[in-house]
Amino acid sequence: MSVLARSPARLFGAAPLRNAYRFHAQQPASPAQLRVFSSNKSHSSSSDPSQTQASAQSVQTSTDSDRDSSSSGKPLGKVSGIVNSILHGSGSLPKVQSQESWGASLSRGKYVHELQKHRIRPERFDDYVQLVSEVFPRLVKESNNKLRLTGSWLTEIGELDTAVHIWEFDGGYLGHTQEMNRLRKDPGYQKFLKDLRPMLLSRDNQICLEFAFWKSRPPVDLGGIYEMRTYLLKPGNLLEWETNWRRGLECRRQFCEPVGAWFSQLGKLNYVHHMWNYPDLETRKKTREQAWKVDGWAETVYNTVRLIDSMEANILLPMDFSSLK
């Protein structure tokens, strides 16, 4: 007998199928599903004997129909759906995926942003601050406005002894390539890297695009604290995330200042970063509580939390030379 002719239980084993039943049984019901269940339950408890008998006949008919479907090769319920998905794939991709990349459809397309994280050796912290405070403004000035520093921050709560820098390259990827080629030939920049490396425990970067619905703020002195929220999404969920957050942002921006939002394209993938500004932590607490009272925010949270693998929130303070303060 060929592999495909075997039963699902033989092909995958009984345990995966039991786990499939268990997976579907454990999924949280949405508020709408709970209301439907409650309505059906009340109708069932108030039905007369004839309705009960009709219901039993319906169940029997359904069972007979399932047997017929089984003999005719038609899918049987959720478990067979899972098996078919494994064997044959999940069907056609969303239209946006088949016609263009998510990066092109979700981003503004005007700039490329580079998010850098420097984990500083504690004993070299002051040396690091002095070095980047001298070099970064010079790099911006020498670029003829093709390289801009969106902002530079030091972590106050979260990953301590860490600096976060967000660079903006005019002209997209071509502009990024041109600037990096220029810097590789710049003796001053090469000396900066040589001085920088011994001060760090590690460093990494991501090339990101900003969401089309959330333009990064221009240089401004807002004061207060900045919060960077970082989400690692389950692969394939960026479009759904964007759709929900596009609505959710309107609920949040009534109470606090959105600074920017980016999604990674190179480096560690499937990451989304949001940045917000607050006067202080107490105001942050109150504004987040106020958002729950706005129609649409609870729905945004409900629809997006299941798309996330992990998340973190870091409180940042701007460095003296940062364009966002």
Distance CA 155, CA 319 (A): 10
pLDDT reported for residue 11: 39
pLDDT at 264 over 90: yes
pLDDT reported for residue 295: 87
**Residue 161: exposure state from Cβ atoms within 10 A (0-12, 13-18, ≥19):** middle
259 and 125 together in one domain? yes
Give the chain's domain count: 2
pLDDT at 170 over 50: yes
Asked which of 66, 89, 112 is the last residue of a domain, the reply is 89
Q: Is residue 97 part of a domain?
A: no
Q: Using one digit for the tens of pLDDT, what is the confidence trace for 212-243? A: 876 777 777 888 999 999 999 999 999 999 98
Asked whether the beta carbons of 319 and 132 are under 8 A apart, the reply is yes
Predicted confidence band of residue 254 (pLDDT cuts 50, 70, 90): confident
The rounded percent of the chain whose pLDDT value lies above 90 is: 51
Asked which of 37, 65, 89 is the last residue of a domain, the reply is 89
Report which residue type is found at 284. Answer: R
Higher-confidence position of 67 and 174 = 174
Give the residue from 224, 221, 233 showing the smallest Cα distance to 274: 233
Asked which of 33, 65, 89 is the last residue of a domain, the reply is 89
Domain that holds residue 24: 3-89
78 and 114 together in one domain? no
Q: Using one digit for the tens of pLDDT, what is the confidence trace for 101-150? A: 555 556 656 789 999 999 999 999 999 999 999 999 999 999 988 999 99
Query: What's 288's domain CATH number?
Result: 3.30.70.100
Q: Which are the contacts of 243, defined by CB distance < 8 A and separation ≥ 6?
A: none
If you average pLDDT over every residue of the chain, what do you get?
76
12 and 135 together in one domain? no
